[in-house]
Amino acid sequence: MTASDRPRISLLGTSALLFEAPGAFDLPHQRRIWALAATASKWPGIREAIPGITNMMLTFETPPRELDTLVAALNDGWDAAEGLAIGGREIGLPVTYGGEIGSQLQSVADHCGLSVDDVVSIHAAPLYTVFALGSHPGYCYLGGMDPRITMPRRQTPLQRSAGGSVSIGGSQTGVSASSGPSGWHAIGHTSWTFFDPSWPTPAALAPGDTIRFEIERVIR
């Protein structure tokens, strides 16, 4: 077994630790991460186990005195982790493609050598899976985008991108939950609410939920 077959475990100072799984960015690996996170979140001294993209951050209630036990538990936990198939909700998300907020729709089409209609139909075709939440309150990292509409991230991030922007960044797509800086290309927008601190669970979506983008309108 080579080193690249094994997970990577590294420190984030004294308040957290990062576990990175070996292997591909795909749903089977992500399901193992969900399983590991569900287990690790119950370990003593752990505040939260937060899934990332085929990785997981553990934050500490109290930093462990020594790390060997935790590292061993993570390695064993990964080896034992069966994919956790979360039976999440399926959400239909109405999207207006193009227009002022989705102003990069044409650029993505040009970059990918496709028509605007192709980009829209390719983007709206898959059933996307919420892999993880992160970045800003309520934001979902989605898996399942068709690689034909891949477009590299911006060299210089935009200072302010509108909340609800449906964007492409590299081989990923997502919807910003609130306005803020972004290095991605907005191709549309939705008025859906992803986060409300007054809800019992503040984020509308959770890992394992699925999203289908519904074409409400295309502004060319």
Partner 1 sequence: MIEILSVTGPASVQDLGRFDQYRFGVGTSGAMDDVALRAGNILLDNDENAAGIEIPMLPFKLRFGRDMAFALTGAGVEAEIAGRVIPPWWRSHARAGDILTIKAMPRGARLYLTIGGGIDVPMVLGSRSTQFRGEFGGWQGRPLQVGDILPCAASAAAIDELGVEPAEITLARPNTAADETIVRVVIAGEYDGFDAATQALFWSSSWKITPQSNRYGYRLQGPAVKPKAPIEKRSHGIVPGVIQIPPNGQPIIQMRDAQTSGGYPKIATVIGADLWRVGQARLGSSLRFEQTAYADALAAEAEMSTYLDRLRTNVRLVEETRTC
Catalog residues that contact partner 1 under the rule CB under 8 A.
8, 10-16, 18, 20, 25, 47-57, 59, 63, 65, 67, 132-139, 141, 177-178, 180, 195, 197, 201-203
**Whole-angstrom distance, CA of residue 3 vs CA of residue 5:** 5
CA geometry: angle 57, 158, 120, nearest 5 deg: 85
- Judged by beta carbon, residue 107 or residue 178, the one nearer partner 1 is 178
- Judged by beta carbon, residue 12 or residue 80, the one nearer partner 1 is 12
DSSP state of 207: T
Residue 34 neighbours by CB under 8 Å, 6+ apart: 51, 83, 84, 86, 207, 208
In the complex, minimum distance from the CB of residue 129 to partner 1, in angstroms, rounded to a whole number: 15
In the complex, minimum distance from the CB of residue 117 to partner 1, in angstroms, rounded to a whole number: 30
Phi, psi of 180 (to 5 degrees): 175, 180
- Judged by beta carbon, residue 9 or residue 114, the one nearer partner 1 is 9
- HSE-up of residue 201 (Cα within 13 Å, Cβ side): 5
In the complex, minimum distance from the CB of residue 124 to partner 1, in angstroms, rounded to a whole number: 23
In the complex, minimum distance from the CB of residue 174 to partner 1, in angstroms, rounded to a whole number: 10
- Judged by beta carbon, residue 57 or residue 101, the one nearer partner 1 is 57
**3-state SS class at 29:** helix
Question: Which helix (H) or strand (E) covers residue 158, if one does?
Answer: strand 158-161
- Judged by beta carbon, residue 44 or residue 197, the one nearer partner 1 is 197
